Chains A and B, each alone.
Chain A
Amino acid sequence: MCTSLRISVIFCCVSLFLNLTCDTQKEVKGARIVSLSPAMTEILFSLGAGDRLVGVTTFCDYPEQAKSIAKVGDFSHPSIERIVGLRPEMVIVNLPEQMRITRELEKLRIKIFTSSPRSLDEIFAEILALGKELDLNKQADSLVTYMKGHLQPVKTKHRKKVYVEISPKPIITVGANTFLNDLIDRAGGVNIFGDLNKDYPVVSQEAVIVRDPDLIIALHPETVTGRTGWQKINAIKNGRVYTGLNQDHLMRPGPRLVQGFEALAKVIND
């Protein structure tokens, strides 16, 4: 009798303790998040929910606090075991780049929040959706309002032809369905490859020369001047090649697009 009583008392205590811990976890929705998207990591910090992140990628280097969070691999090759080991309530993935890992997470019935913004509007929609998911509607609203307010279209009469080079070898640029295309448009420019229906197409040197951009923005460290055959391009003739823009401000669909946009608008309307 005595032992069984003791066991039942212990059992009650344990279950009570379990209940309590469960209750405290229920207070915060999505208290354990793994973000495989550097932009989403930034957004979470902006929403004041950076402390809910238990895992990020090695590419998640902003803000400073993100660097001290456990790493689950890089952007292209996150480790499924490391993610599962962190017992996340939600994993934020980037599509289409992280399709493979997303399928595996789905098999394990782990909750997934997907991010694949192809326009500024989609970025705003994703922030609002994330806010809803995490009970942070107010913060999400104000972040979107802040971003919209700072990404107002610049009015110009002469829209400059802009060529953005993401990689020189092979030449990768920005196509129509991208937030960068939107940013160029709002900053008062025209993307010379805005007619190509592919996000980040590989194009030829000839195509760049024929489309004759007024300015070239290189989002990589290599030089653009001195290339064979490029000398008659307007941008090269007029010395309007910009290599110093912060790549992360322009390539990450997060809050720092505001800074990227301001820099972009400045060089386009210089």
Chain B
Amino acid sequence: MTKTFLLILIFLLAVAAAILIGPTRLDPDILQLRLSRVILGIFAGGILAFCGCLLQGLFGNPLVEPYTLGSASGAALGASVGILVFGAISPLLAFAGSLGVGFFVYTVARIEGGLLRDRLILAGVVLSFLCSSLVMIVMVIGGRELYEILYLLMGYLGIIINATNRIMIAALIFVSMIIVAFLYRYHRELDIISQGTETAAGLGIDIQKFSLIIFFSAALLVGLTVSIVGAIGFVGLIIPHVSKLIYGPKHRYNLAASFMLGATFLLLADTLSRVITVYELPVGVVTSLVGVPFFLYLYRK
């Protein structure tokens, strides 16, 4: 109970910091700007960590996350193709990239009656590399779009919100929250599966079908996130571990805590990225810079 209370307190503090700390004095306009940034931060950080937790539970592997499964890179590839062809990030292409890579990885790892977990990660990492080189080709062809793609690859919350993209972003966030709520309902099944697939099968869970649902919903969520704020790394990998250190293995708490912690972490990282320099840093730079030492410290303890 106290843990949860503390978690909420830290989250609120992060929100307050994200709103109050900045290079300039707060006035209604700046507040509007920072609020939209906070919303994006909660959305992206929460979803990436949530997906990480989901996938780590499903595949019982601590290295699984949107990046290592290739869906983040696939989404980034789709989004950069969109930038090149249409001059703007196209959410549909980002989903297509994310789902396409997801489908390929899934097919490679699939065997009779289940998924080979090692193969899954191997295929994901390999496809990630492939997507990275394809993104490089897009950057070479594009030239002028280079900066935009660079920020897309590192993730960036300071995007301009205007009349044309406001409704789309709101709709995408709404849809992804519904998916999150839908997936959260499976916490019990996840608990059982992470104990071992045989027990789960014995208890009557259709693992094949279940994995398929989780896997592709997560890919869809990652595609949604990347299409708005870019591919922010590291949140999906470390936050679920932090959450597990606090709450233990139960997914009922872990999924929710991952969402909260992911949001908190990204908000703090974004606040830092705004005040370190006069210039705007991509937030992904800060998540790795701060996240890696913090994570190593936690694991040594």
Cβ-based interface call for A77 (8 A): yes
Q: Is the CB of B23 within 8 A of A229?
A: no
A228 in contact with B151 given A202-B279, A205-B33, A207-B278 (CB within 8 Å)? no
A228 in contact with B279 given A77-B140, A204-B23, A209-B33 (CB within 8 Å)? no
Residues B120-167 near A (CB distance < 8 A): 140, 143, 146-148, 151, 156, 158-164, 166
Within the assembled complex, what's the spacing in Å between the Cα atoms of A77 and B148?
18
Cβ-based interface call for B112 (8 A): no
Cβ-based interface call for A87 (8 A): no
Q: Is the CB of B140 within 8 A of A229?
A: no
Q: Is the CB of B148 within 8 A of A210?
A: no
Cβ-based interface call for A9 (8 A): no
Shortest distance between the CB of B160 and any CB in chain A (Å)? 5
Shortest distance between the CB of B204 and any CB in chain A (Å)? 49
A171 in contact with B280 given A228-B36, A230-B29 (CB within 8 Å)? yes
Cβ-based interface call for A19 (8 A): no
Within the assembled complex, what's the spacing in Å between the Cα atoms of A209 and B160?
12
Q: Which residue of B lies closest to A74 (CB)?
A: B143
Of A76, A167, A204, A210, the contact of B143 (CB 8 Å cutoff)? A76
Q: Which residue of A lies closest to B140 (CB)?
A: A77
Cβ-based interface call for A227 (8 A): yes
Q: Is the CB of A206 within 8 A of B30?
A: yes
Of B143, B160, B274, the contact of A169 (CB 8 Å cutoff)? B160
Q: What band does the interface of chain A fall in when counting residues whose beta carbon is under 8 Å from B? A: 20 to 34
Cβ-based interface call for A70 (8 A): no
Cβ-based interface call for A203 (8 A): yes
Cβ-based interface call for B195 (8 A): no
Cβ-based interface call for A75 (8 A): yes
Shortest distance between the CB of B47 and any CB in chain A (Å)? 21
Q: Which residue of B lies closest to A231 (CB)?
A: B29
Shortest distance between the CB of B79 and any CB in chain A (Å)? 12
Cβ-based interface call for B100 (8 A): no
C-beta contact mask, B227-265 vs A, less than 8 Å → 1, else 0? 000000000000000000000000000000000000000
Cβ-based interface call for A196 (8 A): yes
Q: Which residue of B lies closest to A209 (CB)?
A: B29
A228 in contact with B24 given A76-B143, A169-B151 (CB within 8 Å)? no
Cβ-based interface call for B32 (8 A): yes
Q: Is the CB of A204 within 8 A of B162?
A: no
Q: Which residue of B lies closest to A57 (CB)?
A: B143
Q: What band does the interface of chain B fall in when counting residues whose beta carbon is under 8 Å from A? A: 20 to 34
Within the assembled complex, what's the spacing in Å between the Cα atoms of A209 and B31?
12
Cβ-based interface call for B60 (8 A): no
Within the assembled complex, what's the spacing in Å between the Cα atoms of A210 and B24?
7
Q: Which residue of B lies closest to A207 (CB)?
A: B23
Chain A residues with CB under 8 A of B282: 170
Cβ-based interface call for A117 (8 A): no
C-beta contact mask, B10-47 vs A, less than 8 Å → 1, else 0? 00000000000011110011101110100000000000
Of B146, B164, B280, the contact of A204 (CB 8 Å cutoff)? B280
Within the assembled complex, what's the spacing in Å between the Cα atoms of A211 and B147?
24
Chain A residues with CB under 8 A of B148: 167, 169-170
C-beta contact mask, A228-247 vs B, less than 8 Å → 1, else 0? 11111000000000000000
Within the assembled complex, what's the spacing in Å between the Cα atoms of A210 and B160?
16
Chain A residues with CB under 8 A of B140: 76-77
Q: Which residue of A lies closest to B151 (CB)?
A: A170
Q: Is the CB of B279 within 8 A of A223?
A: no
Chain A residues with CB under 8 A of B166: 228
Q: Which residue of A lies closest to B28 (CB)?
A: A232
Q: Which residue of B lies closest to A233 (CB)?
A: B29
Within the assembled complex, what's the spacing in Å between the Cα atoms of A169 and B146?
11
Cβ-based interface call for A267 (8 A): no
Q: Which 6 A-B pairs have the closest CB atoms?
A: A226-B163, A229-B33, A228-B161, A76-B143, A210-B24, A227-B162
Could you give 14 example pairs across A and B, Cβ below 8 Å? A170-B151, A202-B147, A203-B278, A203-B280, A206-B34, A207-B278, A209-B29, A209-B33, A227-B161, A227-B162, A228-B32, A228-B36, A229-B30, A229-B33
10 new A-B contacts at CB < 8 Å, known A170-B147, A228-B162, A229-B36: A167-B147, A202-B280, A204-B274, A205-B33, A210-B24, A223-B163, A227-B162, A229-B32, A231-B29, A232-B28
